[in-house]
Structure 1
Amino acid sequence: MTAYLIRRLFQMVVVVFVVSLFMFFLFNIAPGGPLTGLQQQQRRITPEERARIRAQYELDLYWPIRYTRWLIGWPQGPIVVGGQELFANIPVGCYIEATPEEGGGCHQYVYLADMPQLHPPARSSQGILFGDFGRSTVVQAGRPVWDLLMSRLWATVELQVISLALSLLIAVPLGIYSAVHQYSKFDYTFTTAAFVGSSMPTFFFGLLFILMFTILAGRIQEILPWWPVLPPGLREAVRPYDVASWLTRIQPGSALDRFLHLLMPVGVLTIVSVAAWSRFLRSSMLEVLRQDYVRTARAKGLPERIVINKHALRNALIPFVTVLVLQIPLFFAGAIVTETIFAWPGMGRLYFDALNRSDYNIALAFIYVTTILTVFATLLGDILYAVIDPRIRYS
């Protein structure tokens, strides 16, 4: 096991490095960025002003140089060995670009010796490997990215933990019962509902909930007086509001207010997860129930409850663990679509805003941390395989 863990850790480092390299490169060649608006008014600004803005966002440097500065915080200035500057005259970027009318190219290059003046160390990142993710450029300009991520993290964790717990409590019993009672009326009904739930996109359920419990709720109350009017977004209200005649006026920031704001986003995530997980567990249970050792356990006269829970379920959970451990990155990444629809102030909404407004420091930090959590989740899944099934051994 020790040799296997060392080998896997080395593979994880390689995977994270490759992913970070490719995502940084893709973000740099993607359209958009801080200069998108300036490109539409090139004739209104001087080349020096454009150069200053490029230097502010470090766009005057070539992308491999920006990548090493983003990853490890190097280079921050000239390389000095024995009192002599090495490679000081090597260009690392373009400071002033030539306009298309001038034939393109570069008027003035950035050299390694110029970097202390153009990129002061106080503003330069120390590198994400040292916990410095830089600063936000648009969403909350000047604020450290890590502080911004942590301010949104607990909203996402709250949403994901509640929906995960509800999904497990509903999906596991449904999947087991449907597999044990295959071809029954319940199984047909459950399979149809699960198929519909897993086929529909997440935003469909989100918009449907908002339509039923917010937009049309007043008309529905004329027929069903007990029908509630739920808040359509955010994490808490800003002013008192009414939900139904049978409930007192809700005060903003109260526990009941937070609970009501959770209902619709948690409901959407739970429906989607239950539909997918229950069908997956049902298929896994059906495969296990056909195995010889299950038939042998029944032939011995063991109670059906022991056959299902001890012999069948434990082996059926092995593939289900793969699906379950991959939910760990979602505790950080959040549900982008759901949080966007309900304006939930979590990580998914932050990532959407960062992409929409070209705040690449936030987007890169988001993907980098999610990648690390994903590779650790896969390692945890492999370890849990050995815990659930003693026959599995790693060497």
Structure 2
Amino acid sequence: MGKYVLKRLGYVVLVFLIISFLMYALYNLIPTDPARAQLEPMRQQLRPDEYQVMYQQLRQQMGLDDSLLVRYLRWLGLWTDMDGTFNGMFQGNMGYSQFFKKDAVDVIIEPMGNTIFINIFSTILSLGITIPVGIYCAVHKGKKFDQGMQVVTILGYSIPIYIIALVFMYFFCVTWRIFPVMGSRTAGIIYANSWEAFVDKLYHFTLPVIVMTFGSLGGMTRYVRSSMIEALSMDYIRTARAKGLREKVVIYSHAWRNALLPVVTSIFGWFLSIFSGSVIIENTFALNGMGRLYWQGLNNQDFELVLAIQMFYTVVSLIGSLLIDISYGLVDPRVRVNK
């Protein structure tokens, strides 16, 4: 198991380097000049010759005249800066945000926490609902509850997430006034302590979490149901029932354990899709998250910030892929991950 994990970690590092280089190269093809953008606010105060001198000095300081490979390695933190120090991504420097006028790390810390908070909670809620419902529908296949859930899951799977968000906003925010329409905190409020800040944030994030949970119920419930139906049709299930085992033991100890392997694969893939779907939710509810920040960065051509956010999503995807592979050996002992 240990050798397999180390091998997979090596693949993760290799894929990260390839993806990060491709992303860095693509953004460098965009006709922008970071040095010129940084000096632009001072242009009216400088004579043309002074501006040109400062522009050339800044380009040299930023290493913009070096080759693409050198700039990429410097961006990663594997090549020294002009002052002879390593100061890149691996050292915690994700670049400088031209729009927010501060380091990209300082910009993304709070939105990153909000995005992780929203996605983790919606994932826990979704799994807590879809797994029991999917198992119940499979066991009672063809009954009224199963037929009703089939209609509900098809609707939930077919309706776009932003339509679901608008419908929920109309009822919960406009009609019933239970939750705020948008924002991550109450405007103008001064918190007495961190607990009040957490409660206020939870109040603003409740409806987005509900929307994301509702929007993800359809696909996952159908997948759990189909996996359980396939497992319940196997010969070993009939054998277990013939032995006189209790129905709960047959369902949860035999059928569910064997249906879990394909479900685990879909869970991590579905979890990553939730992260991408949070871009829409965060923009709809005006939440201070990575998705909304990514959209702001694109609209304002803040490409260093956008690249930092892309690396965040890349790391999340690679970690999810690694967990899928490791989970095979934990869920199904027939899968020998150490070979």
TM-score, normalising length: structure 2 = 0.83
The correspondence for 1:320, drawn from 244, 263, 267, is 263
User: Counterpart in 1 of 2:98?
Assistant: 137
Aligned to 2:249: 306
**Counterpart position of 2:192:** none
User: Aligned to 1:52, which of 55, 64, 67?
Assistant: 55
Paired position in structure 1 for 2:193: none
What 5-or-longer segments of structure 2 have no aligned partner?
A: 41-46, 190-195
Q: Residue 315 of structure 2 aligns to a residue in which SS?
A: helix
Aligned length: 323
User: Which residue is equivalent to 1:236?
Assistant: 185
2:295 to 342, 346, 352: 352
- Which structure has greater helix proportion? 2
CA RMSD after TM alignment: 3.2
State the SS of the aligned residue for 1:269: helix
Q: Which of 103, 111, 114 is matched with 1:152 structurally?
A: 111
Of residues 373-382 and 385-394 in structure 1, the stretch that sits farther from structure 2 once superposed is 373-382
Are 2:183 and 1:183 aligned?
no
Partner of 2:12: 12
Given the superposition, is the C-alpha separation of residues 28 and 296 from structure 1 closer, same or farther in structure 2, using an over 3 Å criterion? Answer: same
Q: Write the distance in 1 (CA, Å) between the matches of 2:280 and 2:258.
A: 34
Q: Report which stretch shifted further, 336-345 or 47-56.
A: 47-56
Q: C-alpha distance in 2, partners of 1:128/1:367?
A: 13
Change (3 A) 1:234 1:307: same
Quick one: which amino acid aligns to residue 5 of structure 1? V
Asked whether the 8 Å contact 1:235–1:345 carries over to 2, the reply is yes
- Mark the CA change 1:257 to 1:150 in structure 2 (over 3 Å): closer, same or farther: closer
Q: How far is 1:207 from its partner?
A: 1.9
Q: Distance in 2 between matches of 1:329 and 1:187?
A: 28
Show the 5 A alignment for 1:68-87: 68-72=73-77, 74=79, 76-77=81-82
Return the letter of the residue paired with 1:342.
F
Which structure has more relative contact order (CA 8 Å, sep 6+)? It is 2
- Return closer, same or farther for 1:162/1:75 CA change in 2, 3 Å cut-off: closer
CA deviation profile, 1:176-195 (whole Å, cap 9, x unmatched): 11111111221121112111
The residue aligned with 1:84 is none
Q: Secondary structure at the match of 1:15?
A: helix
* Structure 1 residues 187 and 48: CA distance shift in structure 2, 3 A: farther
Residues 59 and 194 (structure 1 numbering): CA distance in 2 closer, same or farther, change over 3 Å? farther
CA distance in 1, matches of 2:326, 2:112: 27
Could you tell me which residue of structure 1 aligns to residue 71 of structure 2? 66
Equivalent-residue separation in structure 2 for 1:189 and 1:328 (angstroms): 26
CA distance in 2, matches of 1:282, 1:342: 32
Instruction: Determine the structure 1 residue equivalent to 2:309.
Output: 366
Q: For each residue in 1:213-267, what CA deviation from the matched residue of structure 2 results, as whole angstroms up to 9, or x when unmatched?
A: 334x2xxxxxxxxx33531111221268xxxxxxxxxxxx677644442232011
Shift of 1:205: 1.2
- Structure 1 gaps of 5+ residues are 40-44, 78-120, 218-226, 241-252
Q: Residues 160 and 334 of structure 1 are in contact (CA less than 8 Å); yes or no, is this contact kept in structure 2?
A: no
Corresponding letter in the other structure for 1:276: G
The 1-side partners of 2:31 and 2:229 are apart by 49
- Given the alignment of the two structures, is residue 297 of structure 1 paired with residue 246 of structure 2, yes or no? no
Q: Deviations over 1:3-51 (max 9, x none)?
A: 3223222211211111001111222224667679x99xxxxx9698478
Q: For residues 333 and 266 of structure 1, do their structure 2 counterparts lie closer, same or farther at Cα, with a shift above 3 Å needed? A: same
CA contact 2:269–2:320 (8 Å) conserved in 1: yes
Counterpart Cα distance in 1 of 2:86 and 2:334: 48
SS of 2:304's partner is helix
Larger Rg: 1
Cα offset, 1:197, TM superposition: 0.8
Which range moved further: 47-56 or 261-270? 47-56
Rounded to whole Å, the distance in 2 between the matches of 1:256 and 1:5 is 39
Change (3 A) 1:303 1:202: same
Q: Match for 1:293: what amino acid?
A: Y
Letter in 1 for 2:76: L
CA distance in 2, matches of 1:343, 1:33: 30
Q: Describe the shift of the 1:356–1:62 C-alpha distance in structure 2 as closer, same or farther (beyond 3 A).
A: farther
Amino acid paired to 1:235: S
**Residue 389 of structure 1: how far off its partner (Å):** 1.2
Closer, same or farther in 2 for the Cα pair 1:343/1:31, shift >3 Å? farther
Separation of aligned partners in 2, 1:170 and 1:329: 18
Structure-2 separation of matches of 1:280 and 1:30: 41
> Deviations for 1:27-84, whole angstroms, at most 9, x for unmatched residues?
2224667679x99xxxxx969847828838765555333222212352534xxxxxxx
